[in-house]
Amino acid sequence: MSFPLHRPRRLRRSAAMRRLVAETRLHPAELILPAFIKEGAAEPVPIASMPGVVQHTADSLKAAAAEAAELGLGGIMLFGVPTTRDAVGSAALDPDGVLNRAIRDVKAEVGDGLVVMSDLCLDEFTDHGHCGVLTAEGTVDNDATLEIYARMGVAQAEAGADVLGPSGMMDGQVRVIREALEGAGHHETAILAYAAKYSSAFYGPFRDAVDSQLTGDRKTYQMDAANRSEALLEVALDLEEGADMVMVKPAMSYLDIVRDVADMADVPVSAYQISGEYAMIEAAAAHGWIDRKASIVESVLSIRRAGADSVLTYWAAELGRWMKEGSL
Ligand code: PBG
């Protein structure tokens, strides 16, 4: 009688067996929680297109950060939603601006118990919603924007951020921020570069989350979804400019890029499971069309399997709670 020597199903027979042979596992330390703070909010403000996610008040943000630390998450990534905006995003440089104050508050709350990261970009702070300042013709001025990013980086480091996340996709941004940090004595502040950030329709709900003023698109600075090799160039440039970590964003439609970057980069690689990825799963689950928890776990696992060392996900705290209670 002939029989196959290899029967992969032997190793799938029981949950215990599958656990033994799992090649990828989720751990709270690999999850980073993106969090929004809204200037002047008296109560947390729900974000309609991201059920379960809010624009925090100063107090609710501190509580969320404390919980993230308690759960052993890898970090928290802060985004500010200011009440006043102008053409050059002045509030981003103000030490008392919403984001810089949030960094200070969160750092005071968690100390070294959680890595505190801040989004370094102007789109939340400009009245036109672009990630940089504009020329007279209305295009985004790369080099004029760099000067502001450099000062913004120093302001965030001064506020106590452990890691800066430049997300504006200006050429040369990592270098100018690194140089400015060195010049101001912030040698220990790290840079997580949004190195391969694609122009994506899936950012839609985020624009609600930050009350975005953008009317056009970001196609002149964010990457084109058609391109793969270009991502490797972007990552190589950011590494040369001094990035300590690099990110691919979005995650789910770009898992091939996550794999390519993981294979080529000798620094930790993150991937950002963005607002639209979150919204799609929440919406389908709310209709009863997919199993919410299983879909969340599978989606994050797939990003880790593709090669990301860490994942920014709006489910970070919930996943952390599931892991803590042993229900994963
Ligand atoms: C720009 C920024 C964006 C996101 C993070 N940083 C939006 C954009 O490029 O339009 C998107 C995050 C998400 O969709 O969850 N500061």
Catalytic (active-site) positions = 197, 249
C-beta separation of 158 from 129 below 8 A: no
Phi, psi (5° rounding) for residue 154? -65, -40
Q: Which of 121, 206, 221, 270 to mutate to test the pocket of ligand 1 (most atoms within 8 A of CB)?
A: 206
C-beta separation of 57 from 117 below 8 A: no
CA-based Rg of the chain, rounded to a whole angstrom? 20
Whether residue 212 is annotated as binding a ligand: the answer is: no
Whether residue 314 is annotated as binding a ligand: the answer is: yes
Residues 6+ apart with CB under 8 A from 147: 176
Cα separation values, 178 from 23, 121, 151, Å = 36, 15, 11
Q: Is the CB of 275 under 6 A from ligand 1?
A: yes
Q: What is the number of other CB atoms lying within 10 angstroms of the CB of residue 260?
A: 20
Q: For residue 203, how far is its CA from the centre of ligand 1 (angstroms)?
A: 6
Q: Is the CB of 314 under 6 A from ligand 1?
A: no
Q: Which of 108, 149, 142 is nearest to 125 (CA)?
A: 149
Q: Say what the pLDDT of residue 3 is.
A: 78
C-beta separation of 306 from 258 below 8 A: yes
Question: Whose C-alpha lies nearest to ligand 1, atom 8?
Answer: 203
Q: For residue 66, how far is its CA from the centre of ligand 1 (angstroms)?
A: 24
Q: For residue 2, how far is its CA from the centre of ligand 1 (angstroms)?
A: 57
Q: Say what the pLDDT of residue 1 is.
A: 62
Q: For residue 10, how far is its CA from the centre of ligand 1 (angstroms)?
A: 44
pLDDT in tens, the chain (328 residues): 677 888 999 999 999 999 999 999 999 999 999 999 999 999 999 999 999 999 999 999 999 999 999 999 999 999 999 999 999 999 999 999 999 999 999 999 999 999 999 999 999 999 999 999 999 999 999 999 999 999 999 999 999 999 999 999 999 999 999 999 999 999 999 999 999 999 999 999 998 899 999 999 999 999 999 999 999 999 999 999 999 999 999 999 999 999 999 999 999 999 999 999 999 999 999 999 999 999 999 999 999 999 999 999 999 999 999 999 999 8
Q: Is the CB of 167 under 6 A from ligand 1?
A: yes
Hey, which bits of the chain come out as E strands? 31-38, 45-46, 54-56, 75-81, 115-120, 163-166, 190-197, 245-249, 269-273, 310-313
Question: Whose C-alpha lies nearest to ligand 1, atom 6?
Answer: 167
CA distance 211 to 154: 25
Atom number in ligand 1 closest to CA 34: 15
Q: Say what the pLDDT of residue 2 is.
A: 76
Whether residue 275 is annotated as binding a ligand: the answer is: yes
Q: Which of 289, 317, 313, 286 is nearest to 301 (CA)?
A: 313
pTM of the model: 0.97
SS (H, E, C) 264-305: HCCCCEEEEECHHHHHHHHHHHHCCCCCHHHHHHHHHHHHHH
Question: Whose C-alpha lies nearest to ligand 1, atom 12?
Answer: 274
Q: Name beta bridge partners: 165.
A: 119
Q: Say what the pLDDT of residue 163 is.
A: 99
Whether residue 25 is annotated as binding a ligand: the answer is: no
Q: Is the CB of 319 under 6 A from ligand 1?
A: no
